[in-house]
Amino acid sequence: MLPDQKSRPYGLYVIGFIGQCKLVWLVDTGAMRNILSYECYNRLPESLKFPLHEDGSQVSVADGCKTSTYGSGRLLVKIGSQDVNISVLIADIEDSAILGMEFLSDVYCSERPVQIFFHSQEVQE
């Protein structure tokens, strides 16, 4: 499993898989883009890494500070029982990964929406 750097007392999180790598994703309606932390990207097996394309994106984190970005690419993620090909930005963030409005809009408008079931219990890793 890829590490998650911080405890998660608040927020909406889902479990997703990149290949066989389990990852906890924050679902964040305040984020426009999907973001994978630079640390998690570097820990992916080489077979799952993708070339980073610089797109000039900047990220402001929750406290308003800007953080470094390293580029973007496309990634196949399994959420629930469905595989979804998403665009992700690689950046220095505290969470392992963030599903932003880009993901939520894509799956809402797709022909085959992703079903995500939320439970009131804590995420079990």
Whole-number pLDDT of residue 48:
93
Domain that holds residue 29: 13-109
18: domain CATH number is 2.40.70.10
User: Between 117 and 30, whose confidence is greater?
Assistant: 30
Per the structure, the count of domains in the chain is 1
The DSSP code for 124 is P
Among the residues of the chain, which ranges form H helices? 38-43, 101-109
In a domain, residue 117? The reply is no
What is the per-residue pLDDT across 88-108, written as a single tens digit (0 to 9) for each?
999 999 899 999 999 888 765
| Those residues with Cβ within 8 angstroms of residue 50's Cβ, 6 or more apart along the chain or in another chain | 73, 74, 75
Per-chain mean pLDDT for the chain: 81
User: Between 118 and 14, whose confidence is greater?
Assistant: 14
Q: Give the β-pairing of 35-37 and 21-27.
A: unpaired
In a domain, residue 91? The reply is yes
